[in-house]
């Protein structure tokens, strides 16, 4: 078996981290593992194992045929048998499938706004879905959507997973007092609802002097981050730090004391699993698979409820022993249920087409 992970970019998103982790872990299992980045490299490139086959295409648009031929040559030269296409990379995966029908094409749907699937644009996706040999969905809602809307016959819910990536060093440290560092690992976009988080932090910062809030994640909408900063100014909020996209996230998370997600919609967020690997107590909104992941090992609050979010963050800040215990138990839960070893048998069956 020769498996190629196909991803559009190496920006610091969940789908990108998952593609790299899959490539690295499959290689460690003795599988001939490859990774193709079609459009843009980024910070995550340093996380790719030197033993993983790697090709960067630099495509200019979806119909960049000269660059597509580079992908086609790579698939033929390396005798790739499975293409695992993540998110928007399905289009070129389907084009390869058309040229080389023997390749098994698996599309991985990481769509994060699963609370609003009725608003999803899927015309091009549906036109190419007939070439998918299998679909992997990151939650049950997406699985049902692929079955009902795309009419795909072989659809699987496969849990996201996480590995301990703390061997990659962090390039910064987290300012603020130990015991009070709250971290949010999420790219800055409306779906993640940082405004809700800032409202919650504003409620506790006056009462808990040592509290600091650390926002880790990239952004492609300057207007959004400016609105967030304006909110800080309008409310004279201090101890809120914008760290941008970062390498060595696992090492950085180990400097934090609480992990939080305030999203209004999610699939199964990798960030939540990474909080677990860092033994962080978590406070998270009840969207996507978040409630299932956190289970009884953290705090779940309604989406958009800044008062509830503030209350649970304040609880952990004021009860450090409980926070440590919950963080430790959460890590054990993640290692037991959301590790690569836990999903590997199912993944290999999908690659081989043995579980139709």
Note the pLDDT tens digit of each residue in 134-144: 999 988 899 99
Asked whether the beta carbons of 22 and 51 are under 8 A apart, the reply is no
Residue 135: strand, helix, or coil: strand
Higher-confidence residue: 113 or 224?
224
8-state DSSP, 291: H
> How far is it, in rounded angstroms, from Cα 319 to Cα 258?
12
CA distance 96 to 91: 9
DSSP string, 103-127: SEEEEEE--S-GGGGGG---HHHHH
- Going through 87-198 in order, the beta strands assigned E by DSSP cover 104-109, 134-137, 155-157, 181-185
Residue 356: band (very low, low, confident or very high) from pLDDT cuts 50, 70, 90: low
Fold agreement (2-161+339-352, 181-337): yes
Q: Each residue of 236-274: pLDDT tens digit? A: 889 999 999 998 899 999 999 999 999 999 888 999 999
pLDDT value, residue 198: 97
SS3 36: strand
Query: What are the extents of the domains in the chain?
Result: 2-161+339-352, 181-337
Percentage with pLDDT > 70 across the chain: 99
Distance between CA atoms of residues 140 and 155, nearest Å: 10
Question: At a CB cut-off of 8 Å and minimum separation 6, what does 320 contact?
Answer: 179, 257
Q: What is the CATH number of domain 2-161+339-352?
A: 3.40.50.2000
Question: 173-227: per-residue pLDDT in tens?
Answer: 999 999 999 999 999 999 999 999 999 999 999 899 899 999 999 888 888 999 9
Give pairs for 196-199: CB < 8 Å, separation 24+: 196/262, 196/264, 196/285, 196/303, 196/304, 196/305, 196/306, 196/309, 197/260, 197/262, 197/306, 197/309, 198/228, 198/231, 198/232, 198/235, 198/237, 198/240, 199/306, 199/310
CATH architecture of 181-337: 3-Layer(aba) Sandwich (3.40)
Residues 10-62: pLDDT tens digits?
988 889 999 999 999 999 999 999 999 999 998 889 889 999 999 999 999 98
Measured distance CA(77)–CA(263) in Å, rounded: 43
Element (H, E) at 68: helix 65-77
| Rounded alpha-carbon distances, angstroms, from residue 305 to 29, 236, 286, 310 | 43, 21, 10, 9
How many other β-carbons are positioned within 10 Å of the β-carbon of residue 151?
11
Q: Which residues 6+ apart lie within 8 Å of 102 measured at CB?
A: 81
Lateral strand order in the sheet of 134-137: 53-56, 32-40, 2-9, 82-86, 104-109, 134-137, 155-157
Strands 181-185 and 258-261: parallel
């Amino acid at each position: 078996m020769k498996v190629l992970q196909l991803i559009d970019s190496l920006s610091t998103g969940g789908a990108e981290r998952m593609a790299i982790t899959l490539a690295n872990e499959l290689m460690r299992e003795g599988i001939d593992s490859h990774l193709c980045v079609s459009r843009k490299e980024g910070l995550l490139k340093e996380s790719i194992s030197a033993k993983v086959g790697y090709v960067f295409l630099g495509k200019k648009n979806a119909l960049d045929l000269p660059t597509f031929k580079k992908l086609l040559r790579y698939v033929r030269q390396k005798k790739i048998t499975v293409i695992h296409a993540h998110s928007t990379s399905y289009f070129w995966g389907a084009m390869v499938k058309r040229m080389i029908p023997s390749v098994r094409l698996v599309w991985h749907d990481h769509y994060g706004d699963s609370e609003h699937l009725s608003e999803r644009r899927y015309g091009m996706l549906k036109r190419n879905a007939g070439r998918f040999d299998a679909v992997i969905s990151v939650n049950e809602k997406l699985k049902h959507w692929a079955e009902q809307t795309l009419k795909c016959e072989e659809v699987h819910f496969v849990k996201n997973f996480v590995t301990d990536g703390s061997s990659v060093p962090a390039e910064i440290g987290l300012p603020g007092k130990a015991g009070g560092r709250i971290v949010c690992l999420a790219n800055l976009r409306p779906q993640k609802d940082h405004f809700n988080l800032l409202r919650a932090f504003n409620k506790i910062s006056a009462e808990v002097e040592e509290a600091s809030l650390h926002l880790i994640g990239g952004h492609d909408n300057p207007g959004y981050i400016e609105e967030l900063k304006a909110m800080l100014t309008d409310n004279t909020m201090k101890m809120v730090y914008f760290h941008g996209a970062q390498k060595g996230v696992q090492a950085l998370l180990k400097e934090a004391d609480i992990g939080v997600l305030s999203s209004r919609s999610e699939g199964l967020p990798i960030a939540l699993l990474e909080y677990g690997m860092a033994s962080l107590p978590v406070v998270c909104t009840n969207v996507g698979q978040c409630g299932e992941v956190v289970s009884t090992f953290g705090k779940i609050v309604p989406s958009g409820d800044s008062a509830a979010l503030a209350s649970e963050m304040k609880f952990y800040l004021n009860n450090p022993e409980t926070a440590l215990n919950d963080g430790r138990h959460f890590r054990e839960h993640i290692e037991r249920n959301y590790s690569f070893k836990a999903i590997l048998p199912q993944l290999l069956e999908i690659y081989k087409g043995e579980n139709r």
